[in-house]
Amino acid sequence: MAIRVHDPDALHWRRMGDIPMGSMRSYIDASELEGYICFHEAGTATSMQLMELRLNPNTCIAPHSHDEDEIYFVAEGSLNWEDRSLVAGGSIFLPARVTYSFRTGPEATRLLNFRARADHSFNPAQASDQNARVRDQFSQQAPDYAKLIAAQGAQPRADPLIELMDPQPGDRVLDVGCGSGQLAVTVAPRVAKVVGIDLTPAMLDEARSHAAAAGVENVHWELADSVSLPVDDASFDIVVSRSMLHHAADPARTLAEMRRACTPGGRIIVSDLSPDPAKSAAFDAIELLRDPSHKHALTLGELQALGRELGLVETVVRSSATSLPLESVLATSFPAEGMLDHVRALLGRDAAAGTNALGMTPELREGQLWVTYPMMTIGWKTDG
């Protein structure tokens, strides 16, 4: 479900005093219930939500705990929380089940509350919706994907990844989430064969054109979901995925399928976005605003845990970062109308405050806003 962000002044707001609060009533002085609250997207119990609170100087948020990771971003005014005082551009990350209480500063405060469920377990119905979002986004990107990749400077990232793959002339390589085929076509001349798998037909059309232009003939393309790879067990020496897992409906099942496809003693390599764990919820929220096909960027610890559960032997972990002009990132994005301006505003405030609350280290360079994407690459060997 996409988050729709509307003009706050055009929304129907309700006084907090008019909203049932159950047991929270015992914590709140009725005279303080002068804030206003509105859901931009009510969502479901399993969807991302963006909730905005407008609070006047006398309002506090009652002490309570919550079951989901949350981050409050101060859009206007100031906010007091325990020993911290945050002005516009600041943020507070609250892990699940932490009891907290806010009180506003001397002026009216406007907050954005990004809420993301910590449970990323597989749900078939949600998977179908997620796959549809991926196809929609990447079908729109496909015609100009090569130019977009070049604008983002992503092509050089293939070289370190290929170095970790250590391809040999007899190797069989499986590229899961191959996109328009940059990695598959680059590595193909060095191995026996490559199979590229992707969920989006338009991307595979681009991959075929790319391979033909490069004169590469030992690459085969398959349209398939990463949770059900159309390959035999233990049929590939190297199984790789680059910048795909954060779109996957079920990363655990995807990695399990990669493990199934890999030969005993073979190599599995994943390279993907990987935010600071303390900023994971905020990172996911801002990325989902920009890219409706974003699902969840696994932290390094989360991905390592998945590998351990599958009995994989970790061989290498590398962290890196890719800095890009924000506008080149937004050129690859096709969210709901008006969403990109909202992303620009949030990252601009974060840059001005210097807090890196959203996990992208936004900064101005010669008048242009840049963002930095944290990346990680992890390699495993299978038993054998």
Residues 50-74, mean pLDDT to the nearest whole number = 64
The reply to whether CATH 3.40.50.150 applies to domain 124-317 is yes
The reported pLDDT for the residue numbered 1 is 31
pTM of full prediction above 0.85: no
- Lookup: tokens for 189: 């001349």
CB 322 within 8 A of CB 269: no
Cα 242 from chain centroid?
A: 14
Distance (Å) of CA 118 to CA 67, 148, 280, 379: 8, 32, 10, 25
Percent of the chain residues topping a pLDDT of 90: 44
User: Burial of 235 by CB count in 10 Å (0-12 exposed, 13-18 middle, 19+ buried)?
Assistant: middle
Q: What is the band of 98 on the pLDDT scale with cuts at 50, 70, 90?
A: low
pLDDT at 271: 95
Distance CA 288, CA 322 (A): 19
pLDDT in tens, 181-227: 999 999 999 999 999 999 999 999 999 999 999 999 999 999 999 99
Average pLDDT over residues 42-65: 55
* 42, 286, 348, 363 from 367: Cα distances, Å: 37, 22, 11, 9
Predicted confidence (pLDDT) per residue in 275-333, tens digit: 998 888 788 888 888 888 898 899 999 999 999 999 999 999 999 999 999 998 898 88
Task: Answer whether CATH 3.40.50.300 is correct for domain 8-116.
Answer: no
Taking the alpha carbons at both ends of the chain, their separation in whole angstroms is 42
pLDDT at 73 exceeding the cut of 80: no
pLDDT reading at 56 higher than 80: no
Cα dihedral 67, 361, 306, 250 sign = positive
As beta bridge partners, residue 321 has 374
How would residue 116 be classed by pLDDT, with cut points 50, 70 and 90? very low
Whole-angstrom Cα distance, residue 153 to residue 204? 21
Q: Where are the domains of the chain?
A: 8-116, 124-317
Q: What pLDDT is attached to residue 102?
A: 73
Q: Residue 118's pLDDT is what?
A: 38
Which of 55-59, 75-79, 90-94, 368-372 is least confident?
Answer: 55-59
Closest to 140 (Cα-Cα) out of 344, 341, 343, 335:
335
Give pLDDT tens digits for 217-258: 999 999 999 999 999 999 999 999 999 999 998 999 999 999
